A = this chain, B = another copy of it.
Amino acid sequence: MIKVHGVPLSPFARKVYLGLRYKGLDFDMEMVPPGGGSDDFVKISPLRKIPALEHDGFTIPDSSVILRYLDQQFPDKPLYPADPQLQAKACWLEEYGDTKLIENLGPIFFQRFFRPRILNEEPDEDIVKQKIEQDLPPILGYVESVLPENGFAVGSHFTVADIALLSPLLNGRVGGYTPDAAQYPKVAGFFARALEMDFVKDQLAVEKEVFNL
């Protein structure tokens, strides 16, 4: 039995959902409200962060740790290249997605989706503008410089790098922002190809249903 504690629009929880869906593994979703849920949750996730995984009684937090664990327990359709250099590149891009992309796409999602829809507040469009015009160009420019024109982030197979680049882009998209294909052709192409994958469509269908997008 696999259970993921999280919320479908969390960029970190979505990494785990996408990994499980890519591998074709069934799982239950346990919804955790912002702030970290019940006092029992802290036993599973000491920092009260999502996602956290339960697998046959074993529990572990942190999206990166969870994806590595799942890949070892369910090695079909591996998320980590066997070649050490390719794997290091994939894990570095995962780290880049988990930090720089989320730090700069997350606020667009927060202003345009979370504030109006969850907090019943007005979005601050100045922050959105700052992110799109000032902060994101060097970040997306770096991603543009490392992505290939076709295929996946570090080669011919889908990896943890694709998951970690895709998830924050999906948060930007919920906030109405998609990287411009003229400015970032490789990023835009990567994103467009990802959106055509069936297991990504399955994830988006759940997000649409849960949050009435």
Contact = CB atoms under 8 A, between A and B. Distances in A.
Interface of A: 46-47, 58, 60-62, 64-66, 68-69, 72-73, 84-85, 87-89, 91-92, 95-96, 100, 142
A142 B47 CA distance: 10
Contacts of A60: 85, 88-89, 92
Number of copies of this kind of chain in the complex: 2
A51 to B, nearest CB: 13
Given A65-B92, A69-B84, 5 more contacts: A46-B142, A60-B92, A64-B95, A65-B95, A66-B88
Contacts of A65: 88, 91-92, 95
A68 B88 contact: yes
21 contacts: A46-B96, A46-B142, A47-B96, A58-B85, A60-B85, A60-B88, A60-B89, A60-B92, A61-B92, A62-B91, A64-B91, A64-B95, A65-B88, A65-B91, A65-B95, A66-B88, A68-B87, A68-B88, A68-B91, A69-B87, A72-B87
A88 B64 contact: no
Contacts of A84: 69, 72-73
Contacts of A92: 60-62, 65
Contacts of A142: 46
Nearest to A145: B46
Nearest to A89: B60
Contact of A95 (B62, B91, B96): B62
A66 B65 CA distance: 16
The 8 closest A-B pairs by CB, nearest first: A72-B84, A69-B88, A65-B91, A60-B88, A65-B92, A58-B85, A62-B95, A65-B88
A142 to B, nearest CB: 6
A100 B61 CA distance: 14
A46 B140 CA distance: 12
A47 B143 CA distance: 12
